[in-house]
Amino acid sequence: MSVTFWAQYAWLPHVNGQVVERDVLIGTVDGGRIAEVTPDSGPCPPGAVRLEGLLVPGQANAHSHAFHRALRGTVQVGSGTFWTWRDTMYRVASALDPDSYLALATAVYAEMALAGITAVGEFHYLHHAPGGARYDDPNAMGEALIEAAARAGIRITLLDTCYLASGFGTEPTKPQLRFSDGDADAWAARADGLKPREHARIGAAVHSVRAVPADQLDTVAHWSSMRRAPLHVHLSEQTAENDACLNAHGVTPTRLLADHGVLGPRTSAVHATHLTDEDVRLLADSATTICMCPTTERDLADGIGPARRLASAGCPVTLGSDSHAVIDPFEEARALELNERLHTRTRGHWTANALLRAGTEDGHASLGWPESGRIEVGALADFTVLALDSVRTAGPPARLGAETAVFAASAADVRHVVVGGRQIVRDGVHQLVTDVPAALRDSIAALSS
């Protein structure tokens, strides 16, 4: 089915960079690809779907753990550390089974859709039943996530995560038993059972150098290499990880990953907060993507990673909501710049266009969807429309739409969302999940009942 959309304004690629154009006709064809982009087309023609506001490419949430959404609020009581936060997270994880995870993840992905997110990279390590027993389908949990994305109408890259150890030379702890396949060969054999679909692609992840012994890293890297699949890894989020890695191997986590073939242009290093000069060089020389998760990193008191330095050295940068302390891709984007401002006491490290690109084109590429994230002929018809007449966005001229989107808008300003030419959010209402707050409330309450 071909559908034509008319956007009041759209942020479009241009020979001189991105520009905001008005009265943009976007035609789509079977398969949900963009067949026509015509700016200055005049008023909305009969039969076209009218989209008031600023149309931007769909947002790619490059790093998600869907079940962390159940922690919102509860982990803000008192103080604690990253490690006490993790203990609470493990308690929630222990309550999930394929049915309850399907319900929770459907609600979380619907929240993402309402925030303008059209593709999620799910860093998935909750593979087995509590204690480590296998489900009848050993991929039942991963399949629940793929189905949840379908129900919420968004794309997913399931980053099936290898997680084998609780630390360097230590076996998994009790809550971690359900994360482990035993060794990387068994992980690969199970991951082989996952198949891509129209809305879903399969990638790999190394949980971290803490959780995957060095002699197992090559197997995961090889698996992703053979499939040309994305490979993601948590990297140096905490200085304790760096210290333990140096103690065990005499090298930094980045160096260890480089020595075992984990870095490269299909790889995303998530966080990359505490790096040495050599780490930065290794990541840049290998064209590894850096996924920053600013709202989670500030929530967990991780520190401010060297995103600007890495980008200047040549690393693409993407954005993720990770623990879902909030789900707001515009907040993630502006936090990248605003963190740098606080850190350096100077302004102007990232343009609004560069920040939007991180959340769209580069984010999709890092998840193995290089044909999404741009409004151009041949690309997937994935886009998000932001209100320019809300209390947050009214006032600036439309030509400053990118600046308004990044520095003033919030998820609450997302008015329409289209994935593959299909409208899944209309006037701020999800078209597939009828009551998203109730779905979140009920699926989270079910975990403590």
> Which residues form the interface with Zn ion (CB under 5 A)?
322
Q: For the chain, what percentages of helix, strand and coil (3-state, to nearest 5) are there?
A: 40, 25, 35
Pair 409, 331: CB distance under 8 Å: no
- Residue 305 backbone zone (phi > 0: left; psi -120 to 50: alpha; other: beta): beta
**CA dist 99 → 110, 345, 403 (Å):** 17, 48, 41
- Residue number with CB closer to Zn ion (358 or 405): 358
User: Is 222 considered catalytic here?
Assistant: no
User: Is 322 considered catalytic here?
Assistant: yes
Residues 6+ apart with CB under 8 A from 438: none
Rounded Cα–Cα distance for residues 238 and 317 (Å): 19
Smallest gap from Cβ 413 to Zn ion, in A, equals 26
- Residue number with CB closer to Zn ion (324 or 357): 324
Measure the CA angle with vertex 317, ends 316 and 320; round to 5°: 145
* Catalytic residue, candidates 322, 362, 382, 413: 322
- Residue number with CB closer to Zn ion (322 or 337): 322
Measured in whole angstroms, the distance separating CA 373 from the mean position of its chain's CA atoms is 13
Strand partners, 185: none
Residue 162: closest CA among 220, 230, 223: 220
Identity of the residue numbered 97: D
Give the residue ranges of DSSP H helices in 136-213: 140-152, 184-191
Smallest gap from Cβ 54 to Zn ion, in A, equals 30
Strand partners, 158: 122, 202
- Residue number with CB closer to Zn ion (293 or 409): 293
Smallest gap from Cβ 320 to Zn ion, in A, equals 8
- Residue number with CB closer to Zn ion (322 or 340): 322
| The dihedral formed by the CA atoms of 440, 444, 445 and 446, expressed in degrees to the nearest 10 | 110
Residues 6+ apart with CB under 8 A from 156: 109, 119, 120, 121, 122, 145, 146, 149, 199, 200, 201
Residue 243: closest CA among 254, 251, 231: 251
- Residue number with CB closer to Zn ion (322 or 331): 322
Smallest gap from Cβ 271 to Zn ion, in A, equals 7
Pair 100, 370: CB distance under 8 Å: no
Smallest gap from Cβ 68 to Zn ion, in A, equals 8
- Residue number with CB closer to Zn ion (339 or 393): 339
Smallest gap from Cβ 217 to Zn ion, in A, equals 18
Q: How many helices and strands (H and E) does the chain possess?
A: 15, 16
Give the residue at shortest CB distance from Zn ion.
Answer: 322
Catalytic residues: 271, 322
